[in-house]
Amino acid sequence: MTLRTLGRASLKVTPLGMGCWPISGITSIDVNEADSLATIREAFDAGINFFDTAFCYGFDGESERMIARVLRQDRDKIVLATKGGIHWIEGKQARCGRPETLQSECDESLRRLQTDRIDLYYLHAPDPEVPIEESAGAIGELIRQGKVLSAGLSNASTELLARFHAVCPLTAYQPHFNMLQREIEDSQLPWCVEHGVAAVVYWPLMKGLLAGHLPREHVFNAKDGRRKYPMFSGDEWQRNQDFLDELRAMSIELGRPVSQIVLNWTIQRAGITVALCGAKRPHQIRENAEAMNWSLTLGEIARINAAIAARGPIVSKAAVS
Ligand SMILES: NC(=O)c1ccc[n+]([C@@H]2O[C@H](COP(=O)([O-])OP(=O)(O)OC[C@H]3O[C@@H](n4cnc5c(N)ncnc54)[C@H](OP(=O)(O)O)[C@@H]3O)[C@@H](O)[C@H]2O)c1
């Protein structure tokens, strides 16, 4: 499989990365440690070399700690990305982009990850109380100290991307993107392409919806974090299921699971460098990783694009996680 270069950095990554939020068990239900550890191992064994986590994935860094437990021996074979600038206060996420906070969160992430360097360190989200230049300067300082190899930013406007990049050149930007949520194609993706910044996108499977396994009659568990999103209820849900029916028909014709069709479309999309797919069971990441090993034809992509156009976009604000 061909590796992709992250921005102008020397980091080479697989086009699919493993998103390590679901294994923290905060919004996903029925998560257990044995499955989570096995899912990380399965991702690596299936060829994925890029792991995405954050200081706040788990109330006490469980996601970072589990990655270290499974992949410490293989550290030099993987690219590790984590994020700082969001932490938990009494069960609620709080942003803090102050330099001293980023410095101490980075130090803690290094300890949890049991490594001497983080390959890609993102500001998880801009802090409205702190000028972005200060947060960018702090990540630049972490690079100078050798704790971090390259800088990233997530959940920002195009203006903030440019201001961050002017202080500390970005290697990657991390927004949400999937077949039905493509707002970044208007200005952020062209900005990334123009400035040589990798687009590493989250929610390619729209939190599992686009894996196609949730049937139209699915009733969400009261603890399932997806219940709060409009796309999982009412008219939006019905329209999403109509769209999925088209992908399900293609799935039968191609002999490929819907998830692989969706992920392959995503990593073939112009300007997209990596799609981060979350999983909490080994069989899910195994199914997803296989999407790197084949390609949709141009005709199949055109058919999918027509179905996307018929569905129309979902306009929704990303929930940072
Ligand atoms: N920067 C940010 O603010 C931010 C925000 C969100 C995410 N992220 C990153 O992006 C990653 C991806 O986002 P995400 O994990 O929220 O969403 P996602 O990748 O769109 O969906 C993940 C969920 O889809 C389901 N799934 C995955 N593969 C499947 C398969 N083959 N068959 C059936 N179901 C499958 C699983 O949920 P069920 O089994 O419960 O159905 C899984 O937990 C995160 O893990 C994180 O690393 C970053």
Task: Please state whether beta strands 274-278 and 198-201 pair in parallel, antiparallel, or not at all (unpaired).
Answer: parallel
User: What per-residue confidence (pLDDT) applies to 319?
Assistant: 54
Contact 244, 211 (CB under 8 A): no
> What are the tokens at 122?
């993102």
Is the CB of 152 within 6 Å of ligand 1?
no
Looking at residue 195, its pLDDT comes to 97
Residues serving a catalytic function are 57
Tens of pLDDT along the chain (321 residues) come to 789 999 877 899 999 999 999 999 888 888 999 999 999 999 999 999 999 999 999 999 999 999 999 999 999 999 999 999 999 999 999 999 999 999 999 999 999 999 999 999 999 999 999 999 999 999 999 999 999 999 999 999 999 999 999 999 999 999 999 999 999 999 999 999 999 999 999 999 998 999 999 999 998 888 888 888 888 988 999 999 999 999 999 999 999 999 999 999 999 999 999 999 999 999 999 999 999 999 999 999 999 999 999 998 775 555 556
Beta bridge partners of 94: 87
Q: Closest by alpha carbon to 188, among 33, 318, 21? A: 318
End-to-end CA distance of the chain: 29
Ligand 1 atom index nearest CA of 30? 40
CB within 8 Å of 104: residues ≥ 6 apart:
none
Beta carbon of 208 within 6 Å of any ligand 1 atom:
yes
Q: Degrees (nearest 5) of the Cα angle 102, 81, 124? A: 45
Residue 202 CA, closest ligand 1 atom number: 10
Whose CA is closest to atom 24 on ligand 1?
208
Q: Any idea how long the chain is? A: 321
Q: Where are the domains of the chain?
A: 4-311
Q: What is the pLDDT of residue 281?
A: 96
Task: For residue 235, report the distance from its CA to the centre of ligand 1, in Å.
Answer: 23
Q: Mutation test of ligand 1: which of 203, 258, 264, 281 has the most ligand atoms closer than 8 Å to its C-beta?
A: 203
Backbone angles phi, psi at 18, to 5 degrees: -90, 125
Look at residue 267 in the predicted model and tell me its pLDDT. 98
Beta carbon of 276 within 6 Å of any ligand 1 atom:
yes
User: Distance from the CA of 280 to the center of ligand 1, in angstroms?
Assistant: 8
Atom of ligand 1 nearest to the CA of 22: 43
Compute the distance from residue 187 Cα to the ligand 1 centre, in Å: 25
Query: For residue 150, what are the contacts with CB-CB under 8 A and spacing of at least 6?
Result: 6, 7, 9, 11, 119, 120, 121, 143, 171, 172
Residue appearing with tokens 């690219």: 79
E strands along 166-286, which residues? 170-174, 198-201, 274-278
The confidence score (pLDDT) of residue 312 equals 84
**pLDDT for 320:** 56
Nearest alpha carbon to residue 40 among 61, 57, 22:
22
**Ligand 1 contact via 211 beta carbon (within 6 Å):** yes
Cα of 44 from ligand 1 centre, angstroms? 17
Distance 208 CA to ligand 1 centre (A): 6
Cβ atoms of 223 and 210 within 8 Å: the answer is no
Ligand 1 centroid, distance to 100 Cα (angstroms): 31
Tell me what pLDDT residue 121 has: 98
Q: According to the model, what pLDDT value does residue 317 have?
A: 55
Among 183, 172, 60, which Cα is nearest to 111's?
Answer: 60
Please tell me the residue having the least CA distance from ligand 1 atom 30: 284
pTM of the full predicted structure? 0.96
Q: Which of 67, 221, 99 is nearest to 168 (CA)?
A: 99
Q: Whose CA is nearest to atom 25 of ligand 1?
A: 208
φ and ψ at residue 292, rounded to 5 degrees: -85, -10
Do 63 and 20 touch, CB atoms closer than 8 A? yes
**Spatial separation of the C-alpha atoms in residues 64 and 41, rounded to whole Å:** 14
Quick one: which H or E segment has residue 113?
A: helix 99-113
Q: At which residue do the structure tokens 């499989």 appear?
A: 1
What is the whole-number distance in angstroms between the Cα of residue 35 and the centre of ligand 1? Answer: 15
Which H/E stretch holds residue 70? helix 62-71
Q: Which atom of ligand 1 is nearest to the CA of 21?
A: 45
Does the beta carbon of 286 sit less than 6 angstroms from any atom of ligand 1?
Answer: no
For ligand 1, atom 44, the nearest C-alpha belongs to 19
Phi then psi for 274, rounded to 5 degrees? Answer: -140, 145
pLDDT of residue 42: 98
Classify domain 4-311 by CATH number. Answer: 3.20.20.100
Q: Which residues pair with 13 in a beta bridge?
A: 4
